[in-house]
Amino acid sequence: MDMDRVMALKIIKNVEKYREAAKLEINALEKIAEKDPEGRNLCVKMLDWFDYRGHMCLAFEMLGLSVFDFLKDNNYQPYPLEAVRHIAYQMCYSVKFLHDNKLTHTDLKPENILFVDSDFEIMYSSKKVRPQES
């Protein structure tokens, strides 16, 4: 793993049911990486994973805001219709790739749909890492 690279870290609590769910997620993410190593199908890229004192830790490429956070940060102003069409097309494209590879996204919601980039700064939160507002 390239330690000079900025990445997002998802830490799963050391609770057996969460650890088991994390193992399933890791298997799915590894299959995505195997089937789409260049990321052409717009799925998140897991860089690596490790176990730290029983906590499952997944390292991901750093992405931008979620569809939900962007909406919230803009006082819930609706997205323009063309943006909605573009987001919907990309979601369908990604979900079709998952379906074609016998994978199912079990938690598809605005909080889990991320833009490729947005301006962000590194910060720490015990609950969630988000870009700082300017």
pTM: predicted TM-score of the whole model, two decimal places: 0.80
CA separation for the pair 97, 87 (Å, rounded): 15
CATH of domain 7-112: 1.10.510.10
CA separation for the pair 36, 65 (Å, rounded): 23
CA separation for the pair 73, 70 (Å, rounded): 5
The pLDDT of residue 2: 67
* Residues of the chain under the 50 pLDDT cut: 120-126, 134
> Is 2 labeled as catalytic in the residue annotation?
no
As to burial, measured by CB atoms within 10 angstroms (0-12 exposed, 13-18 middle, 19+ buried), residue 70 is middle
The pLDDT of residue 127: 53
The pLDDT of residue 1: 66
The pLDDT of residue 84: 96
CA separation for the pair 64, 1 (Å, rounded): 21
Burial 35-63 (b: 16+ CB within 10 A, else e): ebeeeebebbbbbebeeeeeebebbbebe
